[in-house]
């Protein structure tokens, strides 16, 4: 399942900030660390580990981020 973020359509400056921030996360690879933290490692406070590896489809989407809907 692919995730999205909704923003107000009448706030192009905020949308630009969100897009730039997400692009930086993807380009730097930090998005992989964030995914790892929440889906591959124990989550505080109980240490629950979802053990949910990233799918090849999600890896492909992360490799080429876009604001276009996934087909």
pLDDT in tens, 13-58: 999 999 899 889 999 999 999 999 999 999 999 999 999 999 998 8
The boundaries of the domain holding residue 32 are 12-62
**4 inside domain:** no
3-state SS string over the chain? CCCCCCCCCCCHHHHHHHHHHHHHHHHHCHHHHHHHHHHCCCECCCCECCCCCCCHHHHHHHHCCCCCCCC
Is it the case that residue 2 has pLDDT exceeding 80? no
Judge whether 19 and 67 are in contact, CB under 8 Å: yes
Residue 5 lies in a domain: no
Q: Residue 43 domain-assigned?
A: yes
Residue 1, pLDDT above cutoff 70: no
Total structural domains in the chain? 1
> CA 65 to CA 2: how far, in whole Å?
12
The verdict on residue 30 lying in a domain is yes
Contact between 25 and 34 under an 8 Å Cβ cutoff? The reply is yes
Indicate the pTM of the whole model: 0.76
């Amino acid at each position: 399942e692919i995730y999205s973020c909704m923003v107000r359509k009448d706030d192009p400056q905020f949308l630009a900030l969100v897009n730039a921030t997400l692009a930086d996360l993807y380009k730097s690879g930090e998005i992989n660390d964030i995914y790892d933290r929440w889906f591959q490692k124990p989550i505080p406070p109980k240490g629950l580990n979802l053990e949910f590896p990233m799918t090849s489809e999600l890896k492909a989407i992360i490799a080429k981020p876009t604001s276009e809907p996934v087909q």
